[in-house]
Structure 1
């Protein structure tokens, strides 16, 4: 079985959980404790310019920015502006060619190298700027999907070329979340199902979704290793 086929199986395992649609809807409830649509819709989000609103929006996913990183991003925004300009604005991950993915990878690596950032925070910032192309990834998502090491985007893109799977994910979309990308819906489904955070556990209890079993341990080849701190709301 190819890696993308395994990822499809793992996605469908999440989608098959009774009540997963209610759990996703709870995440997007504006009166709840989660980021919901605010991550995507807060403030100004021009496609090729990094704003303070972008930095604030990412903190809703329970991360923080170190002063050195903020100064580097705002004072030396040239690499970010140039990097964003090289990434298409209306391209879905499953339709992305090598050039678009490479451009996104270059900017992700630049952000990753900033003080205190790392790959998880970098993915959250890029997901804010390119929600249809860049998936958020953290320890929960990587250990559930277990893609090959350093090939998460490519493997997920291949998995999502199957239109039937995209329709199954799309079926989770709750009222009031029309602007949220399919990648974000998938991320929320995986995270709310498997996160051990207090808010996620409370949400599962509230909608009657049973607690999941333990996540698999990191694999020997590193495909499910933790990239950085992963708590989020």
Structure 2
């Protein structure tokens, strides 16, 4: 398990998360998953999981995954798309994805499954190997598209909200979410169920990401 003391994340993470403050979190989620007067989503990221689901194979990267991450404000370069879909690279990606359970949530995962040397850690490095614009943010969003219950998104918004860089951040997220008999994880699950506009396929891990993102975007930290 990552060395991430409760006193540390209690101090660094937003109070709305630490305190499981539904009154503050609910309007952020209602806004993110709300619609404009013309019926279009207020935030394109609200359709991230819906577009991801267009690739029904959890063990491949496909065009739908690249489109899905573009809804989260990152673009996979054409050079990277060619590299990642090439036969040899695609075979390696599939091999590693098959070694990462598709139905395990981060709170149920053995710590080793989230370690740097794990298949997930190897896939992280594999996706970034080409030096063609697939940085840590894009990599994390591609991995979240494939393992939405297990691998949390990292970007500058998450870093600003939590103080976490990319080093061992999966296991640090896990530390937070399993603390106190999964208090925050259970709250995120309940929070999701209270908002009818949140698609059923959205994981509690993504709910956390949205709340963190919205807090930063709204300047509410």
Q: TM-score range by the shorter chain?
A: 0.7 to 0.9
Are 2:97 and 1:84 aligned? yes
Give, in angstroms, the shift of residue 45 of structure 1.
Answer: 3.3
Instruction: Give the equivalent residue in structure 2 for 1:126.
Output: 143
> Which structure 2 segments of 5+ residues have no match?
none
Are 2:183 and 1:175 aligned? no
Cα distance in 2 for residues equivalent to 1:107 and 1:7: 27
Structure with greater helix share of residues: 2
Per-residue CA shift, 1:32-88, capped at 9, x if unaligned?
331344211212231112111111111111111112101011113111111111100
Instruction: Give the equivalent residue in structure 1 for 2:109.
Output: 96
Instruction: Give the equivalent residue in structure 2 for 1:14.
Output: 16
SS of residue paired to 1:19: helix
**Across the two proteins, how many residue pairs are aligned to each other?**
198
RMSD over aligned Cα atoms: 2.1
Cα distance in 2 for residues equivalent to 1:179 and 1:88: 17
Cα distance in 1 for residues equivalent to 2:207 and 2:28: 11
SS of residue paired to 1:191: helix
> Which structure 1 segments of 5+ residues have no match?
196-200, 202-210, 214-233
| Higher RCO (CA < 8 A, seq sep 6+) | 1
Instruction: Give the equivalent residue in structure 1 for 2:207.
Output: 185
Give, in angstroms, the shift of residue 149 of structure 1.
Answer: 6.2
Normalization by structure 1: what TM-score? 0.77
Instruction: Give the equivalent residue in structure 2 for 1:41.
Output: 50
Q: Which region of structure 1 is more displaced relative to structure 2, 138-147 or 68-77?
A: 138-147
Instruction: Give the equivalent residue in structure 2 for 1:165.
Output: 184
* Residues 14, 161 of structure 2: 8 Å contact kept: no
C-alpha change, 1:53 and 1:143, in structure 2 (3 Å) is same
Normalization by structure 2: what TM-score? 0.81
* Residues 112, 122 of structure 1: 8 Å contact kept: yes
